[in-house]
Amino acid sequence: MPMLSDTINGNGGQVDILRGLDRHSKDRRDLFVLVLELERGNVSNACKVIGIQRGTYNQWCLDHNSFREECKDIQYALLDMAEGKLLDNVEGGQQRAIEFYLECQAKDRGYVKRREVTGDGGGPIKVIGELPAEQLRLLEAAARQGAREEVALLHSGDIQEGELIEMGDTGGS
């Protein structure tokens, strides 16, 4: 389906209504919101139609709470629509849609994709160095708590990713 930006800017022209609007006016922001909805939430296309840079859109979002919320509402409505389509496919018995839904929404019931990491030839992971005691403590705490912050602390030290262990192929099951 062609987007509004293709129709309006197909030959490099812009909508005549834009000629009278200040680049940073509320009217231009209001027009952007309308165009964003017509462009089905595609910010890049809406910027192109309105004749602004993506940075201007980002600044408008920072400076104008109501503008930011209107744009978010459009994008949330599109997410709601996509979720509705997914549920239609689930209700219609489409296997991939059912699997996707369960992987996202039923993890607590065991519908989780698992990834096994092994060393060369499916063997154990080969350790090629030892962790200092403090970094080992942080890693163990992160494993117990699932805390990404503590893993970030581990990586903030002198150890670079890939220096400690040597891994073979990874694959999903």
Res 17: pLDDT: 57
d(C-alpha 118, C-alpha 172), whole Å: 11
Res 24: pLDDT: 66
Phi, psi of 13 (to 5 degrees): -90, 165
**Cα Rg of the chain (Å, integer):** 25
d(C-alpha 117, C-alpha 122), whole Å: 8
51 assigned to some structural domain: yes
Q: Which of 38, 61, 76 is the last residue of a domain?
A: 76
117 assigned to some structural domain: no
Q: Which residues contact 151 (CB under 8 A, 6 or more apart)?
A: 138, 139, 142
152 assigned to some structural domain: yes
111 assigned to some structural domain: no
Report yes or no: 99 and 92 within 8 Å, Cβ to Cβ.
no
Res 139: pLDDT: 80
Res 114: pLDDT: 76
Report yes or no: 73 and 40 within 8 Å, Cβ to Cβ.
no
pTM of the model: 0.52
Give per-10-residue mean pLDDT for the chain (173 aa): 46 52 78 94 93 93 95 95 95 94 89 80 79 82 60 47 41 44
**Dmax (CA) of the chain:** 69
d(C-alpha 173, C-alpha 112), whole Å: 10
Res 115: pLDDT: 76
List the Cα angle 31/80/41 in 5-degree steps. Answer: 30
Res 134: pLDDT: 86
Res 157: pLDDT: 52
84 assigned to some structural domain: no
Number of structural domains the chain divides into: 2
Res 111: pLDDT: 86
Q: Which residues contact 135 (CB under 8 A, 6 or more apart)?
A: 154, 157, 159
* Domain extent at residue 27: 4-76
104 assigned to some structural domain: no
Report yes or no: 113 and 172 within 8 Å, Cβ to Cβ.
yes
Res 25: pLDDT: 78
Q: What Å distances lie between residue 170 and 40, 58, 124, CA to CA?
A: 38, 38, 12
90 assigned to some structural domain: no
39 assigned to some structural domain: yes
